[in-house]
Amino acid sequence: MYNFDITIYEDALSLLLSDKADIKAEILAQLQQEDTAIEFIGEELQDLCDELMLDTDKIIAKFETQSCEELMKYISFSETGITFDYEESVACGDRRVCAFRIACNFDLDRYLKAVQKD
């Protein structure tokens, strides 16, 4: 399991008027905006492949061609791992925007099992 954080941004008024934010969709949106999390997951995956003496080049090549949507199957989060990020909220310069830090996990073992089946 590789643990990482994603920061998502929500409009405060939308949060007040809506039922609930779609956190999974927000995580995906951040990943699609070239968040560095994908890069770090790739590095961790490469280290694990080297450690397990797997075909690192093949696995990393597959990882790099997969879309964020495909990789989301291996990403999980817990609602208890969500915190308000006051400093980031202030830094964005828009008082209507709230930043939240989401603690996420990428299941490296499950990913490797799926890739090795291909």
pLDDT digits (tens, 9 = 90+) for 48-91: 999 999 999 999 999 999 999 999 999 999 889 899 999 999 99
Closest CA to 27 of 90, 100, 94: 100
Single pTM value for the model: 0.85
Residues of the domain holding 17: 2-117
How many domains does the chain fold into? Answer: 1
**Hey, what are 106's tokens?**
């990428």
Q: Is 43 or 16 the better-scoring residue by pLDDT? A: 43
For residue 46, what pLDDT is reported?
A: 96
User: Which 3 state secondary structure label does DSSP give 116?
Assistant: helix
